[in-house]
Amino acid sequence: MTRFVVVPQWQGSPAPRAMLLTEGAAAIAGDLPRVRTVTLDVPLEAGDAQGTAVHRLSSLRRTRALLEETLTGADEPAVVIGGDCGVSVGAISALPGDLDDVAVVWCDAHPDLHTPGTSPSGAYSGMALRAVLADPASPLPGRAGIAASRTVLVGAREIDDAERRFMAEAGIVHVPALNDPEAITRAVASTGAARVYVHVDVDVLDPSELSGVSAPAPFGLGVAELVTALRALRGAVPLAGATIAGFAPRTADDAVNDLGAVLRLIGAVA
């Protein structure tokens, strides 16, 4: 049975109003089954960079340790509710067994493939997928690392030059649109992975379908097409876990308006 771990981490976000991520996490938590949901006590303070180029790193490290402690050794898969995209790094590192049979499907308007040396913002959320790949330049590398050849990027449309170069060099599969509902399933099957971790930053959706994000990007995916594609993937490959991140509604009314779409995404991976 799926359990839910709510991680209202805001420190990895570059947004001026990053604290809205805590409001989004709380809004989602209110609609989850209480007996299967735990909310982590994320530090409230910003933290410091600890001599690196990553903003708020000390708080990020504390939350990462808390998340790994919560998830390690669990028998059932978990859906992690963020917070910013950095929560997926700890969640994937805490997966049971070796990670050489795991594929990662990263659904995001942005690839999150920066390093501290290439990031224009210093925000960890923009480095999260690179950290999942255990890049040595990351201050929070994954436990063993997911191979780039087992990484599928979905819906990315705001890609910086440094990220685009890395994608080409590393051979990361990019599925920019979902005209075919089996596109993600085929991409994962081609990796040979036996299980899959799904990360969804809700900004992968078109702003016309969900407005509660920090940096809306036009020409995104539709809720129905992403839900259909994720359900097809679940029917083909066992789910190791999932993350829903990036929900940052500006008002309580905005949260209510968007929650239907968010809950449909959760239903597709839970």
- pLDDT for residue 141: 67
Return the residue matching tokens 């490290």. Answer: 61
Check: CB of residue 40 under 8 Å from CB of residue 70: yes
Distance from C-alpha of 38 to C-alpha of 98, rounded to nearest angstrom: 26
Distance from C-alpha of 95 to C-alpha of 107, rounded to nearest angstrom: 19
- pLDDT for residue 74: 84
Q: Which of 95, 88, 140 is nearest to 246 (CA)?
A: 88
User: How many domains does the structure of the chain reveal?
Assistant: 1
Distance from C-alpha of 42 to C-alpha of 263, rounded to nearest angstrom: 23
Q: What's the CATH code of the domain at 143?
A: 3.40.800.10
Check: CB of residue 115 under 8 Å from CB of residue 137: yes
270 residues of the chain, pLDDT tens digit each: 789 999 999 999 999 999 999 999 999 999 999 999 999 999 999 999 999 999 999 999 999 999 999 999 888 999 999 999 999 999 999 999 989 999 999 999 999 999 999 999 999 999 999 999 977 667 776 666 899 999 999 999 999 999 999 999 999 999 999 999 999 999 999 999 999 999 999 999 999 999 999 999 999 999 999 999 999 999 999 999 999 999 999 999 999 999 999 999 999 999
pTM of the model as a whole: 0.97
Structural domain containing residue 141: 3-269
Instruction: Give the H or E element holding residue 174.
Output: strand 173-175
Q: Which of 111, 267, 86, 101 is nearest to 175 (CA)?
A: 111
Could you tell me which residues come within 8 angstroms of residue 265 by beta carbon, excluding any fewer than 6 positions away? 200, 202, 223, 226, 227, 230, 244
H-assigned helices in the chain = 20-29, 57-71, 87-93, 128-132, 161-170, 183-189, 223-236, 252-269
Check: CB of residue 210 under 8 Å from CB of residue 261: yes
Distance from C-alpha of 5 to C-alpha of 24, rounded to nearest angstrom: 14
Check: CB of residue 243 under 8 Å from CB of residue 104: no
